[in-house]
C-alpha cells in the first residue's frame, strides 16, 4: 500500500509518520508513505496557494492550479488507486470504507485548508470526499493521518498480531470487548475470573458477550443488520432486562409491620398504575420494625411480593430511589420510623394519618425541608374524582361528609375531603356523640360550615350545599387507583399529592377534634398550622 499525502504543512505529517506502528511499518516496507508539499507547484511568483473567494465572504480558498499539478505529478503514468479529498462535507469515514480503501494499491490524500478548495480541483482530480467526523478541523492533515492509520492496520505485516485487526471495534460489526493485563488486581479491581481459567471457549463467549454489551449500551444502531446465534440472542435479552431494571424507579417500604392492608395492596396497585403512566416503578426493598403477631414475618412478606428485605431503615433509604413510610394505623410511630427517610433527600410519601399531632407534623416537614427532601402525605379519599368539581370552591356554604371508623385513625379520610373542598382556614370545632356514632362540626367563619359524621354502618359520602341553594351528593368510588397514580407522579417529579399547607390543616383539625372529644358540646379552637 502506497500513500501520497498532499499538504501545505509537510512537517506536520512527517512527524507522525515517523513514530510508533506507522513508523515501523514504513521502515519494514509494509507500507510506503510520501509527503508532497503543494507550495512548489504554485505558478504564482510568491508561491501562494490561496486567494479570496469569488462572490465575497470571509476567509481564503485554495487555488485549483497547484493542487491539480501536484496530484497529476503524484499520479505519474501508471496510477492504480483512489484520489481522496479530506473534507467536512464528505461521507463519514466508517470501517467498511476503511476496508474498501485497504484493497487499493495506492491512495492520494489531499489536505485542504482555509475555507476549502476550488471546486474545479475537486472536479478534475478527486475521486471522493471523506470526512473523519461531524466536526470541522483547521485543516485536512489530521484527517489524512487518521485515514492512513486506519487503512494501514489492515495491511498484512503492519500489526504484530495478524488477528488484532479482526478482533477490534467495528471489524466484527461490534465495539471491542474490555481488555486486561497484569497485575491481576489493581486498586481493588480484579481481572474477570473467566480470563484466568484457560478455557478458550469460555473466554471467547465472554468477549463476545461483552462486545455485545458495549455495542448495546453505546452504539445500538450498529446491531440492526448483524446476524446473531442463540447465545447472542440470550445475551441481548439479558441486556434488555438489565436496562429495564436500571430505568426502574425503586420504591422502598418502611413499616411498623409489613403484613397490613396497605402494604399488602400497594405493590399491585403500583404495578398497575406504573404501566398506565408509562413510568417504571417497582417496590424493591422493605423493612419492618417488628413482625405482626399472628401474621406474616417480614421475610415471609417479602418472599410473597418479590421484595428484598433489608436490615435497617438506613439501608432502605440508601438503596431506594423513593420511599414510602407506611404504618397507617400507628401515626405515633411515623416521626421515629421516617426520620432517616426525611433526611435522605429522596422523595417520601408518609402514609395516613401523617402525625399524631400538629407539632409532630411540623417537625417532620421542617426536617424534610432542611435536608432537601420532597415530602407529602394524604388520605386516598382526597384523590377521588368526584371531588374535582368542588376543590377550593368558596361558594360552598355547607359540606357534610359521612363515613365509618374511629376518630384517631379514620377521621383523616373525611377531614382530607373537607379541607380539599373548604380550604385550610377552619376556626373552631365541636364534637357531639360517642363511640356508637359522632359528629364533628367545623366552623369556617362567615356562615360557612362543614361536618364529619362517623358511624359503623356509613359509607363515605359527601353532601354539598351552595349559597345559591344548590345541593349535590358525591360518592367517592375511585380513590385508591387515583391516589397511587398521583403518588407515582409525585415520585417522578410532579406536585405533592396534597400541599403542605393542607396536610398541616388536616393535622390541626385532628388535634382539635381530639380535644373536642374530651369536651363534647363545646367549641374548641383549631390550632394554627403556620
Residue 431 lies in a domain: yes
Grid cell at residue 85: 479529498
Residue 179 lies in a domain: no
**Final residue belonging to a domain, choices 377, 409, 429:** 377
Q: CA of 422: how far to CAs of 415, 416, 464, 525, in Å?
A: 10, 10, 11, 17
The pLDDT value recorded for residue 161 is 60
With cell 471491542, the residue in question is 176
Q: Note whether 292 and 355 are same-domain residues.
A: yes
CATH of the domain at 196: 1.10.1270.20
CATH of the domain at 373: 3.40.50.720
With cell 421542617, the residue in question is 366
Q: Note whether 44 and 155 are same-domain residues.
A: yes
Q: Note whether 61 and 163 are same-domain residues.
A: yes
Q: Are the C-beta atoms of residues 82 and 128 closer than 8 Å to each other?
A: yes
Residue 530 lies in a domain: no
Total structural domains in the chain? 4
Grid cell at residue 479: 380513590
Residue 177 lies in a domain: no
Residue 134 lies in a domain: yes
Residue 393 lies in a domain: yes
DSSP state for residue 138 in the 8-state scheme: S
For every one of its 530 residues, what pLDDT tens digit does the chain have, with 9 covering 90 and above?
999 999 999 999 999 999 999 999 999 999 999 999 999 999 988 899 999 999 988 889 999 999 999 999 999 999 999 999 999 999 999 999 999 999 999 999 999 988 899 999 999 999 999 999 999 999 999 999 999 999 999 999 998 665 455 555 555 789 989 999 999 999 998 999 999 999 999 999 999 999 999 999 999 999 998 999 999 999 999 999 888 778 899 999 999 999 999 999 999 999 999 999 988 999 999 999 999 999 999 999 999 999 999 999 999 999 999 999 999 999 999 999 999 999 999 999 999 999 999 999 999 999 999 999 999 999 999 999 999 999 999 999 999 999 999 888 899 999 999 999 999 999 999 999 887 899 999 999 999 999 999 998 899 999 999 999 999 999 998 899 999 999 999 999 999 999 999 999 999 999 999 999 999 999 999 998 77
Pairing of strands 106-111, 2-7: parallel
Residues 479-506 pLDDT 10s:
999 999 999 999 999 999 999 999 999 9
CATH of the domain at 408: 3.30.360.10
CA–CA distance, 259 with 414 (Å, rounded to integer) = 25
Q: Are the C-beta atoms of residues 17 and 23 closer than 8 Å to each other?
A: yes
Number of H helices, E strands in the chain: 18, 22
Residues 156-200 pLDDT 10s:
999 866 545 555 555 578 998 999 999 999 999 899 999 999 999
Q: Note whether 354 and 441 are same-domain residues.
A: no
**Final residue belonging to a domain, choices 350, 377, 404:** 377
Least Cα distance to 487 among 390, 368, 392, 348 occurs for: 348
Range of the domain at 409: 382-525
Q: Note whether 102 and 206 are same-domain residues.
A: no
Q: Note whether 11 and 101 are same-domain residues.
A: yes
Residue 282 lies in a domain: yes
CATH of the domain at 92: 3.40.1280.10
Grid cell at residue 81: 488507486
Total-model pTM: 0.64
Least Cα distance to 406 among 512, 480, 326, 517 occurs for: 517
Give per-residue burial for 420-430: e unless 16+ CB within 10 Å, then b: bbbbbebebbb
Q: Note whether 212 and 302 are same-domain residues.
A: no
Q: Note whether 255 and 294 are same-domain residues.
A: yes
Grid cell at residue 326: 407506611
Q: Note whether 144 and 22 are same-domain residues.
A: yes
CA–CA distance, 433 with 439 (Å, rounded to integer) = 6
Q: Note whether 221 and 274 are same-domain residues.
A: no
With cell 481488555, the residue in question is 179
Q: CA of 214: how far to CAs of 133, 203, 204, 240, in Å?
A: 21, 16, 15, 13
For 152-222, where are the E strands, in sequence order? 185-186, 189-190
- 3-class state of residue 397 by DSSP: strand
The pLDDT value recorded for residue 171 is 58
Residues 236-293 pLDDT 10s:
999 998 887 788 999 999 999 999 999 999 999 999 999 999 889 999 999 999 999 9
Pairing of strands 461-466, 471-474: antiparallel
Residues 213-250 pLDDT 10s:
999 999 999 999 899 999 999 999 999 988 877 889 99
Q: Note whether 150 and 190 are same-domain residues.
A: no
Q: Note whether 6 and 154 are same-domain residues.
A: yes
Displacement of CA 143 from its chain's centroid (Å) = 35
Those residues whose C-beta lies under 8 Å from the C-beta of residue 311, and which sit 6 or more positions away, are: 287
The pLDDT value recorded for residue 245 is 78
Least Cα distance to 278 among 251, 247, 238, 306 occurs for: 247
**Final residue belonging to a domain, choices 327, 357, 377:** 377
Residue 176 lies in a domain: no
The residue length of the chain stands at: 530
Amino acid at each position: 500500500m502506497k500513500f501520497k499525502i498532499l499538504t501545505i504543512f509537510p512537517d506536520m505529517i512527517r512527524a507522525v509518520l515517523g513514530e510508533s506502528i506507522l513508523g515501523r511499518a514504513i521502515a519494514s516496507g509494509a507500507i510506503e508513505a510520501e509527503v508532497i508539499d503543494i507550495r512548489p507547484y504554485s505558478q504564482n511568483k510568491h508561491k501562494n496557494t490561496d486567494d479570496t473567494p469569488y462572490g465575497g465572504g470571509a476567509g481564503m480558498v485554495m487555488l485549483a492550479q497547484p493542487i491539480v499539478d501536484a496530484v497529476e505529478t503524484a499520479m505519474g503514468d501508471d496510477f492504480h488507486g483512489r484520489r481522496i479529498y479530506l473534507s467536512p462535507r464528505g461521507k463519514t469515514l466508517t470501517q467498511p470504507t476503511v476496508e474498501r480503501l485497504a484493497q487499493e494499491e495506492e491512495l492520494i490524500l489531499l489536505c485542504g485548508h482555509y475555507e476549502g478548495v476550488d471546486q474545479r480541483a475537486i472536479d478534475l482530480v478527486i475521486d471522493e470526499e471523506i470526512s473523519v467526523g461531524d466536526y470541522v478541523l483547521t485543516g485536512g492533515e489530521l484527517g489524512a493521518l487518521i485515514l492512513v492509520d486506519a487503512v494501514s492496520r489492515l495491511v498484512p505485516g503492519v500489526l504484530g498480531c495478524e488477528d488484532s485487526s479482526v478482533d477490534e471495534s467495528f471489524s466484527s460489526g461490534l465495539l471491542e470487548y474490555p481488555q486486561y493485563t497484569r497485575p491481576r488486581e489493581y486498586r481493588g479491581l480484579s481481572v474477570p475470573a473467566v480470563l484466568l481459567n484457560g478455557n478458550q471457549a469460555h473466554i471467547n463467549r465472554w468477549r463476545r458477550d461483552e462486545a455485545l454489551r458495549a455495542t448495546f449500551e453505546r452504539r445500538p444502531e450498529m446491531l440492526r443488520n448483524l446476524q446473531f446465534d442463540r447465545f447472542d440472542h440470550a445475551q441481548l435479552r439479558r441486556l434488555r432486562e438489565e436496562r429495564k431494571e436500571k430505568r426502574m424507579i425503586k420504591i422502598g417500604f418502611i413499616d411498623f409491620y409489613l403484613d397490613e392492608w396497605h402494604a399488602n395492596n400497594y405493590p399491585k396497585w403500583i404495578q398497575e398504575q406504573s404501566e398506565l403512566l408509562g413510568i417504571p416503578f417497582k417496590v424493591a426493598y422493605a423493612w419492618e420494625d417488628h413482625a405482626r403477631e399472628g401474621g406474616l414475618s417480614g421475610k415471609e412478606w417479602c418472599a410473597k411480593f418479590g421484595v428484598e428485605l433489608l436490615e435497617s431503615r438506613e439501608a432502605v433509604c440508601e438503596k431506594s430511589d423513593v420511599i414510602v413510610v407506611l404504618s397507617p394505623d400507628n401515626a405515633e410511630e411515623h416521626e421515629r420510623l421516617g426520620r432517616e427517610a426525611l433526611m435522605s433527600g429522596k422523595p417520601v410519601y408518609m402514609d395516613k394519618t401523617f402525625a399524631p399531632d400538629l407539632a409532630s407534623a411540623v417537625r417532620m416537614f421542617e426536617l424534610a425541608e432542611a435536608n432537601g427532601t420532597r415530602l407529602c402525605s394524604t388520605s386516598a379519599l382526597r384523590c377521588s374524582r368526584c371531588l374535582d368539581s368542588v376543590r377550593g370552591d368558596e361558594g360552598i356554604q355547607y359540606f357534610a361528609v359521612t363515613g365509618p371508623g374511629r376518630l384517631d385513625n379514620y377521621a383523616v379520610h373525611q377531614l382530607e375531603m373537607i379541607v380539599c373542598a373548604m380550604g385550610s382556614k377552619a376556626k373552631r370545632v365541636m364534637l357531639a356523640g360517642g363511640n356508637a356514632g359522632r359528629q364533628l362540626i367545623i366552623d369556617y367563619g362567615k356562615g360557612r360550615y362543614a361536618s364529619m359524621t362517623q358511624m359503623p354502618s356509613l359509607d363515605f359520602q359527601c353532601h354539598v350545599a351552595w349559597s345559591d341553594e344548590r345541593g349535590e351528593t358525591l360518592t367517592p368510588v375511585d380513590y385508591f387507583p387515583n391516589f397511587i397514580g398521583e403518588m407515582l407522579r409525585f415520585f417522578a417529579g410532579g406536585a405533592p399529592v396534597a400541599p403542605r399547607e393542607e396536610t398541616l390543616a388536616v393535622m390541626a383539625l385532628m388535634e382539635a377534634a381530639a380535644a373536642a372529644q374530651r369536651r363534647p358540646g363545646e367549641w374548641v379552637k383549631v390550632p394554627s398550622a403556620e
